[in-house]
Amino acid sequence: MISTLELRHIIESSFLPQKCICTVNSVGTMTIQLMNPSTNQVDLTVPGIPISSLITMRAVADLVAQVREEHRLVLLSQRDSSSPLNSQG
């Protein structure tokens, strides 16, 4: 099994140059936060990821891919909601 410290480092490094913060709580779940580089506000928070499921590099890579896709969808929805076309009735 990958140590918690190493797991955090791998995941946070996977999102560079974007800032990513991984925290692990006492019950063994991880929260991933991706920050907006221009505002330093949280763009996406993914809570409750069981670290017991991240025992292989393949599982970690799959998690990173899922979070990237979710982040992409969040950014698209934010862009669409701020579009001038959406403010017209």
pLDDT digits (tens, 9 = 90+) for 77-86: 988 777 666 5
Count structural domains, the chain.
1
Within-domain flag for 47: yes
Within-domain flag for 36: yes
Peptide bond into 17 cis (omega under 30): yes
Q: Cα separation of 10 and 44, whole Å?
A: 18
Within-domain flag for 70: yes
Within-domain flag for 89: no
Residue 2: its pLDDT value, please? 83
Domain that holds residue 28: 4-80
Amino acid letter at 31? T
Q: Cα separation of 26 and 21, whole Å?
A: 17
Within-domain flag for 16: yes
Predicted TM-score (pTM) of the model is 0.85
Do 41 and 60 meet the contact criterion of CB atoms below 8 Å apart? Answer: no
Comparison of pLDDT for 80 and 19, the residue scoring more: 19
Within-domain flag for 86: no
Do 75 and 65 meet the contact criterion of CB atoms below 8 Å apart? Answer: no
Q: Cα separation of 34 and 85, whole Å?
A: 28
Residue 66: its pLDDT value, please? 98
Within-domain flag for 73: yes
Within-domain flag for 87: no
Per residue in 22-38, pLDDT (tens digit) is 999 999 999 999 999 88
